Chain A
Amino acid sequence: AQSVAQPEDQVNVAEGNPLTVKCTYSVSGNPYLFWYVQYPNRGLQFLLKYITGDNLVKGSYGFEAEFNKSQTSFHLKKPSALVSDSALYFCAVRERGAGSYQLTFGKGTKLSVIP
């Protein structure tokens, strides 16, 4: 079984400061990892993914994420937060070669960027 944990329900950061949203995962084998963002009354928007290769993945809107296999983590980061980054962020995992392409999501982290 695969699972995702996002340990923080909410993260507050001042505009211009760096931000980190934490994610840890559990799969039987090797993972595909994804970050999505959700704005109020909208669906989820894809930010970035880790498939293989470099542990630092760059995505949309200046976001990046660092894959750490030993810690089974995939934390989302941005060097300088914008007020417009305020939203709900979801980490998701899919096990490679599992046959089904089910994405398992964490419960989400609400990011608030304070002007």
Chain B
Amino acid sequence: DAGVTQSPTHLIKTRGQQVTLRCSPISGHKSVSWYQQVLGQGPQFIFQYYEKEERGRGNFPDRFSARQFPNYSSELNVNALLLGDSALYLCASSLMGQGNQPQHFGDGTRLSIL
């Protein structure tokens, strides 16, 4: 079975632009979470979606938004990009979104802001 897939793998943008990152969860998984990993740090939680509803939001500005589609895939949007948004963006899926279930991660989208 395919794991979590993310696209694109790499992306270069300039300050002020907007970006959309995409994620397809493992088949059968209904929960998707997004994380930002800055070089040298652990992943920081951005959003969690379960059954197309937002279930959690981390400490990120309103420039960050996300949604989940009926097929459980998800998009992360970031507006008005800043240099500090340069990071690896990770998507993770889990079966039911319950707290005791591990999350399975994709290989991420590396976003570079010039």
Interface on A for B, CB 8 Å cutoff?
Answer: 4, 32, 34, 36, 41-46, 49, 51, 90, 92, 94-108
Contact = CB atoms under 8 A, between A and B. Distances in A.
Contacts, number: 70
Given A34-B102, A49-B102, A96-B99, A101 B90 contact: no
Contact of B56 (A44, A51, A101): A101
A103 B105 contact: no
B102 A43 contact: no
Given A36-B105, A44-B105, 5 more contacts: A4-B42, A32-B99, A43-B106, A99-B55, A101-B97
B42 A90 contact: yes
A98 B48 CA distance: 13
Interface residues of B, number: 29
Given A43-B4, A43-B108, A108-B42, A103 B103 contact: yes
A103 B33 contact: yes
A4 to B, nearest CB: 8
Contacts of B56: 99-102
Q: Which of B41, B42, B98, B102 has the most CB of A within 10 A?
A: B42
